[in-house]
Amino acid sequence: MTAAISARGLARHFGPVVAVAGIDLDIPRASIYGFLGPNGSGKSTTLRMLCGLLRPTRGSATVLGHDVSRQAEAVRRKLGYMTQRFSLWDDLSVTENLDFMARIQGLDRAGRRAHVADRIDRYQLGAFAGRRAGTLSGGERQRLALAAATLHDPELLLLDEPTSAVDPQSRRDFWESLFALVGRGTTILVSTHYMDEAERCHRLAILDCGRIAAEGTPKDLARDIPATVIEVESDDLARARALLAEIGEVQSIAQLGTRLHALLPREAVEPERRLREAMVAAGLAASVERVGATLEDVFVAATRLRRDVQAAA
């Protein structure tokens, strides 16, 4: 089966600013593929190139069998797009918003009625179908936006940080809706900066400075992290952190509740023993052990540590 999205050397410049520096992608159909990265990493610019809103400076991309540069309109007819900010009309009701979007998508009267009724039921919008969109909560607006983006049953759904303004339960419910869409054959490309959301994706690309710094399934990325992860627990985490910072091989330190995660080079020799001995020598009681990487560890190793290594080269 051909990929839903394929890109080679895809790049976009805004004058002297390189937003996307040249990326390669192969995104399978009926799956959720995630872009994880900080602001300015190129996530939104890549999405806009893939849906035909921005023309690439160089490189090529094929989306659902169409060249995005030469067949942008054909691509747009097959996709739904949900932006970070709510982009429907606050002064229209839920039903009026959906009916208007169905008209834009070219559905006939019978089709509009059927699709609007289905989406109101599917995304639990019936209790406030007559309310103006501007009066809805963040989670309700999010469900309305997803309903509008899927009215025409798109083969591909592009989501640009869609859960940035909703509560955790609404985010969880939203992701359950996404998996249901994948079960119906929809391909989903989502950009996010939430680690827990990234872990829900079937595959993931970590973007940094307009490039793909790491790519794979969340499980494979954690397994193949180019670092050793040491976890430290102590009653005095501030002092433990200060001790770790004095050890030259420790590249990064992050606190996770009552624990510290220290990243060291993968080739480090007996790192647990050496860090444990440093704690003992300082008279600090601490538990020190090698652990599996979290996705946050992977993100740090793929972005900040990678930049540090390049700067030192």
The answer for residues whose C-beta is within 8 angstroms of residue 58's C-beta and 6 or more apart is 9, 10, 11, 22
**Residue 249 reports pLDDT greater than 80:** yes
Give the range among 86-90, 189-193, 301-305 with minimum mean pLDDT.
301-305
**Residue 312 reports pLDDT greater than 60:** no
Q: Compute the average pLDDT of residues 16-34.
A: 96
Q: From CA 150, how far away is CA 20, in angstroms rounded?
A: 28
**Residue 310 reports pLDDT greater than 60:** no
**pLDDT digits 0-9 by tens, 154-205:** 999 999 888 876 788 888 899 999 999 999 999 999 999 888 899 999 999 9
**Residue 104 reports pLDDT greater than 70:** yes
Residue whose entry in the numeric block shows the structure tokens 């599996």 = 292
**Residue 236 reports pLDDT greater than 50:** yes
Residue 8's pLDDT is what?
97
Residue 313's pLDDT is what?
44
* Residue-range domain boundaries for the chain: 5-217, 222-312
Contact 158, 82 (CB under 8 A): yes
Percent of residues, the chain, with pLDDT higher than 90: 84
b/e burial code for range 85-106 (CB count within 10 A of at least 16 → b): ebebeeeebbbbbbbbbbeebe
**pLDDT digits 0-9 by tens, 66-82:** 999 999 999 999 999 99
Residue whose entry in the numeric block shows the structure tokens 């390189």 = 18
**Residue 2 reports pLDDT greater than 80:** no
Q: From CA 195, how far away is CA 55, in angstroms rounded?
A: 30
Q: Compute the average pLDDT of residues 120-140.
A: 94
**Residue 271 reports pLDDT greater than 50:** yes
Q: From CA 244, how far away is CA 232, in angstroms rounded?
A: 10
Residue 168's pLDDT is what?
83
User: What is the residue-averaged pLDDT of the chain?
Assistant: 92
**Residue 307 reports pLDDT greater than 70:** no
Nearest to 229 by CA among 275, 185, 181: 275
- pLDDT bin (cut points 50, 70, 90) of residue 1 is low
Residue 306's pLDDT is what?
59
Domain 5-217 bears CATH identifier 2.60.120.380 = no
Tell me the two tokens of residue 14. 């805004």
- pLDDT bin (cut points 50, 70, 90) of residue 64 is very high
Q: Tell me which CATH code domain 222-312 carries.
A: 3.30.70.100
